[in-house]
Amino acid sequence: MPIADHVARIAVLICVFGALFMAAALLFIVMRRDRLEKGRRSRADLMLALTREIMGHLQDGEARPVFTRAKVRDKLKAVSRMIQLVRGEDQARLIAFAEREGLLDDAMRAVKKAGPREQVEAIRLLGSVGGERAVETLREALHRAKSLEVRLEAAGWLARLDALPDPRSLISDLALEEQQITPLHRALFSLLARNGPEQLVALAGMPLRPAIKALAVEALGWTEDYSTLRILAEASTDPNPPVRLASINAAARLGHPDSARWILPMLNDPVPPVRSRAITACVSIGIAEGLEPIRALRADPSPWVRLRAQQAEQLLAATP
């Protein structure tokens, strides 16, 4: 028999075994899915039983046979679901319960030791439960994690838990002096504003690179503190366009009519995005005096400015 036929026989044999293996693999996947589908009901029942027991235990210290037998993963799932539904003291009691039962221990260990994927998963878990120990671990991750992506995730969850560090630490932890500023960074700074304007005002006055200064100035808009208007007015004459843009954004968010006196001159700013943003700020604050200069901008060389002027004219003219 020629060699080709021998090789062909071996190939056919491989195909036969390969086909058997694939049939077994397909069967395994299908059976696995079938088991998951059938187990869905019992998992729902388990969650219900765990929820009842945890609630009962927290209120009256009831016995909890299902909870004792359940896996940590299921217990944690039940607790994190319940935490989304309760507030105040009930939430604090649940968090204390989770900490006491050691439900967060694995996640805390993972944040410190595992790879980025596991770290992020653990951070999400801790962030969804909250509590002092979780915040402590998240802060540590923000400060020490090797991956910037992991740090950013930790910062995002700390922001949700209202536990972000001060702006200077955040800049250092997220390496913002070297990194490009993204919308996510802007969101973090806007959440920092909840803690009051003092630190942001101090930051805005420091000799920082324009992108960071713009970050601080824009965040002032979220402080709901009109005393910051003075800082914004100063920023409106900054030589760097991103800072000027940030000052308009912040003023538009604060919505105080006093800012009109420095926003109106910005309609003639040499940089088109600043002019364009000044137009939209006039609309959102309701600066009627802006209508005439905005009409003049319908002939602006920038199509963006013309578009915003067109839209603003329609809106301002309709305002009584």
Contact residues: another protein, CB under 8 A: 2, 4-5, 7-9, 11-12, 14-15, 18-19, 22, 25-26, 29-34, 37, 115-117, 120-121, 149, 152-153, 156, 160, 179-180, 182-184, 186-187, 190, 303-304, 306-307, 310, 314
**Least distance to another protein from the beta carbon of 182, Å?**
5
Nearer to another protein, 183 or 320 (CB): 183
Distances in Å between the Cα of 104 and the Cα atoms of 126, 132, 293, 320 are 7, 12, 59, 57
- Shortest Å distance, C-beta 62 to another protein: 31
181: amino acid identity, one letter: I
Compute the least distance from the CB of residue 250 to another protein, in Å: 14
Cα separation, 232 vs 247, whole angstroms: 5
Task: Give 182 or 237: the residue with its C-beta nearer to another protein.
Answer: 182
Minimum separation from the CB atom of position 83 to another protein (A): 14
In whole angstroms, how close is the CB of 65 to another protein at the nearest point? 31
Distance, CA of 185 to CA of 74 (rounded, Å): 34
Nearer to another protein, 269 or 300 (CB): 300
In the complex with another protein, the residue whose CB is nearer, 51 or 310, is 310
CA neighbor of 91 nearest in space, from 75, 79, 103, 100: 79
Least Å distance, CB 123 to another protein, is 10
Identity (one letter) of the amino acid at 261?
Answer: R
Length of the chain: 320
SS3 state at 62 = coil
Integer Cα distance of 124 and 104 in angstroms = 12
Considering the complex, state which of residue 72 and residue 114 has its C-beta at the smaller distance from another protein.
Answer: 114
**In terms of CB distance, is 184 or 271 closer to another protein?**
184
Q: Which is nearer to another protein, 155 or 231 (CB)?
A: 155
Q: How far is the CB of 57 from another protein (least distance, A)?
A: 28
Contact by Cβ (8 Å): 113, 64 = no
Which amino acid is it at 100?
Answer: R
Question: How crowded is residue 160: how many other Cβ atoms within 10 Å of its Cβ?
Answer: 14
Cα separation, 146 vs 57, in Å, equals 40
Q: How far is CA 51 from the centre of its chain?
A: 28
